């Protein structure tokens, strides 16, 4: 148990350090995924398989997808395609891939018959559910309220307000008017001078 | 290990000025706190630690959705992800 635990912990810490020191946000995100996966492995070794599965599904799955969506919304157009070409270069994914392969090897060892005996005493989903819906029922209700507030808040912040859109449109048409007017004014002198 | 991860997240929060990195370091810190809970629960053989981790997970999900929506608004307003751009208040 000790060796597998320390290997997973080392992978988590190394990938977190690498995440902090990246300049490209997507590279950092790859290292963050590896870090979360190794923490999930630590949970499994500590005898909490249910929580390990949730960590993979929700953290490494759902929350990371949210991050990636927002990054894609933020850089659109030419820059995005150029960056996409840069992401496919090997130095972007070799580091996270090596760490992830190490994790897979360790996970296979833990699941195999040799490592099976080394697992700590297991606290399964049944115990967790009994505790969650027994003494912690009030907490479950509070968390559901929090999630509802999160949904409403995200919707409210994510949608552009009507008055804001109006002002954006006004700015746009002002710009266009300035361009058109400038051309009309400039037809006499500037263009011919430039052509000559 | 939880302390090391939490310290790393805090350092990232203080060092980086990019809003996405700020959110990611908050994720790391919440994860470290959850790890401490699960480890304590495993040490004494209780399920309470895992229940607390579930609560932390739900809170992180809500926090990230609101934080990313705020980030989109920030990008609309300032055309950058530098959190120092939003440090001045109007009014």
pLDDT along chain A (196 residues), means of 10: 79 84 79 88 84 88 84 64 62 76 79 60 77 85 90 81 62 62 48 47
Q: Is any Cβ of chain A less than 8 angstroms from the Cβ of B47?
A: yes
Task: Say whether pLDDT at B90 is over 70.
Answer: no
A92-129 CB burial, b ≥16 within 10 A, e <16: beebbeebbebbeebbeebeeeebeeebeeebebebbe
Q: Answer yes or no: do B5 and A43 touch at CB < 8 A.
A: no
3-state class (DSSP) for residue B18: strand
Q: Answer yes or no: do A120 and B42 touch at CB < 8 A.
A: yes
CA-nearest residue to B67 within chain A is A154
Residues of A within 8 A of B35 (CB-CB) are 39, 42-43
Q: Is any Cβ of chain B less than 8 angstroms from the Cβ of A120?
A: yes
For residues B59 and B29, is the Cβ–Cβ distance under 8 A? no
Residues of A within 8 A of B18 (CB-CB) are 25
pLDDT at A8: 83
pLDDT at A74: 73
Relative orientation angle of helices B48-78 and A64-74, to the nearest 10 degrees:
0
pLDDT at A30: 84
Beta-carbon count within 10 A of B52 CB: 20
Which DSSP letter does residue B82 get? Answer: B
Instruction: Dig out the tokens for B6 from the structure.
Output: 């939490």
Residues of B within 8 A of A58 (CB-CB) are 57, 61
pLDDT at A135: 85
Q: Is any Cβ of chain A less than 8 angstroms from the Cβ of B74?
A: no
For residues B38 and A48, is the Cβ–Cβ distance under 8 A? yes
Residues of A within 8 A of B15 (CB-CB) are 20
Task: Return the number of CB contacts < 8 Å for A and B.
Answer: 147
Q: Within 13 Å, how many C-alpha atoms sit on residue A1's CB side?
A: 11
pLDDT at A5: 80
Residue B82 bridge partners (DSSP)? B18
Q: Is any Cβ of chain B less than 8 angstroms from the Cβ of A121?
A: yes
Q: Answer yes or no: do B24 and A130 touch at CB < 8 A.
A: no
Phi, psi of A134 (to 5 degrees): -100, -95
Q: Answer yes or no: do B31 and A46 touch at CB < 8 A.
A: no
Q: Is any Cβ of chain B less than 8 angstroms from the Cβ of A75?
A: no
Q: Report the share of chain B in percent with pLDDT over 70.
A: 75
pLDDT at A50: 86
What separation in angstroms does the CA of B7 have from each of A112, A139, B17, B29, B34?
Answer: 34, 28, 17, 8, 14
Q: Is any Cβ of chain A less than 8 angstroms from the Cβ of B10?
A: no
pLDDT at A188: 46
Residues of A within 8 A of B68 (CB-CB) are 66-67, 70, 154
- Shortest CB distance from A36 goes to which of B1, B31, B81? B31
Q: Within 13 Å, how many C-alpha atoms sit on residue A142's CB side?
A: 10
CA-nearest residue to B46 within chain A is A123
Q: Answer yes or no: do A154 and B65 touch at CB < 8 A.
A: yes
Task: Select, from the ranges B14-23, B48-57, B68-77, the one with the highest average predicted confidence (pLDDT).
Answer: B48-57
Q: Which of A50-54, B6-10, B45-49, B81-85 has the lowest average pLDDT?
A: B81-85
- Give the rounded distance of the alpha carbon of A43 from its chain centre: 21
- State chain B's mean pLDDT as an integer: 77
């Amino acid at each position: 148990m000790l060796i597998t635990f320390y290997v997973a912990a080392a992978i988590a810490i190394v990938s977190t350090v690498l995440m902090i020191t990246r300049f490209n946000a997507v590279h950092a995100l790859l290292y963050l995924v590896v870090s979360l996966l190794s923490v999930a492995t630590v949970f499994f070794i500590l005898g909490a398989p249910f929580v390990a599965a949730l960590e993979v599904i929700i953290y490494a799955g759902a929350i990371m997808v949210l991050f990636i969506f927002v990054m894609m919304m933020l850089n659109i157009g030419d820059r995005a395609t150029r960056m996409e070409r840069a992401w496919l270069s090997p130095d972007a994914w070799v580091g996270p891939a090596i760490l992830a392969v190490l994790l897979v090897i360790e996970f296979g060892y833990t699941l195999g018959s040799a490592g099976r005996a080394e697992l700590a005493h297991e606290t399964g989903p049944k115990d967790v559910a009994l505790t969650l819906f027994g003494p912690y029922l009030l907490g479950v209700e509070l968390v559901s309220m929090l999630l509802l507030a999160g949904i409403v808040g995200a919707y409210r912040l994510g949608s552009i307000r009507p008055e804001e859109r109006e002002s954006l449109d006004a700015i746009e048409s002002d710009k266009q008017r300035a361009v058109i007017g400038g051309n009309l004014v400039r037809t006499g002198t500037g263009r011919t001078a430039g052509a000559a | 290990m939880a302390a090391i991860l939490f310290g790393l997240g805090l350092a990232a929060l203080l060092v980086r000025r990019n809003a996405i990195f700020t959110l990611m370091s908050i994720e790391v810190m919440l994860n470290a706190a959850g790890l401490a809970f699960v480890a304590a629960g495993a040490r004494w053989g209780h399920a309470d630690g895992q229940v607390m981790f579930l609560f932390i997970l739900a809170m992180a999900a809500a926090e990230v959705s609101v934080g990313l929506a705020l980030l989109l608004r920030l990008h609309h307003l300032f055309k950058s992800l530098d959190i120092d751009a939003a440090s001045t208040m109007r009014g």
